[in-house]
Amino acid sequence: MAAQLHCADFIPPPGLANRHVQTLLPRLLPRRRLTWRAEILELPDGDFVELAWAMPDTVAEDAPLCLLFHGLEGGTRSPYTQELLATAAELGWRALVMHFRGCGTRPNRLPRAYHSGDTADAYWLIAQLAHRYPRAVKVAIGVSLGANMLIKLIAEQGGDGLDLSGAIAIAPPLDLSASADTLHQGFSRLYERHLLASLKAKVASRLEELPLSLTARELEALDSLRDYDDAVTAPLHGFEDVADYYRRASAGPLIGDLELPTLILHANDDPFMPPDLFDQLPAPGDAVRVEIARHGGHVGFVEWHDGLFGSWLARRVARQLGDWGRVTPQDAWQEPRRVSRSDS
């Protein structure tokens, strides 16, 4: 497995390498200013998702298109969404984010939500974009939960099942059970409590209409993401229990099956995941490039570049979009450097 990994060229600023500093720092830095155009995408089952298009939108029908899938409880307000889509737009790409059900400005219609392995809505959207923009190069980016979902979708659809030239998966929690355990330990519980508060607030407002055998008091007492997924996510979406959900929704076992060019970006010190994450997974296929940084936290990767704090993720994504915009997917991986685990 070690021979399949590559060193990411991310270097944290002096004194800012700590995993939690890197995770939290993007929220403290100046935000990229974006204007959004909203769109409601109707789904085959009668529900909907909200799309947000970065403006100004290009008018060229064949302009390349960058589609982002956000993380748990994320959306347009997430720092990474603003940074990555602003970067894509500046490169001349048509850029948008799909909000998972209930993550936009209004609750979704059906008595359900979204989860880490919920690929159907993304598949429907990509098909709609293929119909609208048949000549456009298209690249999908997934972040955290959205990255796990994207990898699972790519594995399900095979090499030619999606109108995508490539995919970028940032900090995917490829082993959901291990990630849930990691988030329930030490300082990482701060992130867990933040996510739980948002998730429980949404369910509390709809508890009477959801098919859950759960009282408001029981919902409030849920103390971990694992407990929440067992009491809410699993029964709401047809899983037997949390173990069944984590097993069936985790994309890690599928990375050896990916045929679409896929870049996976990961930090060894990600506080949402165990440090040996990739040691426990199968070797990725030839279409996959895994870049691992020693530092970076969870979707952090804040660097000092050209005299300013900035996003290494945005620079790395810009480079990849540039490569996929001018070469065939088979030639997309430039100058790979294979390293051992000790070097990463």
Q: Which residues are catalytic?
A: 144, 270, 298
Backbone φ/ψ region at 180: left (φ over 0), alpha (ψ -120 to 50), beta: alpha
Distance separating alpha carbons of residues 138 and 128, to the nearest angstrom: 12
Distance separating alpha carbons of residues 309 and 10, to the nearest angstrom: 13
Distance separating alpha carbons of residues 178 and 277, to the nearest angstrom: 8
Decide: 74 and 141 in contact? Cβ < 8 Å. Answer: no
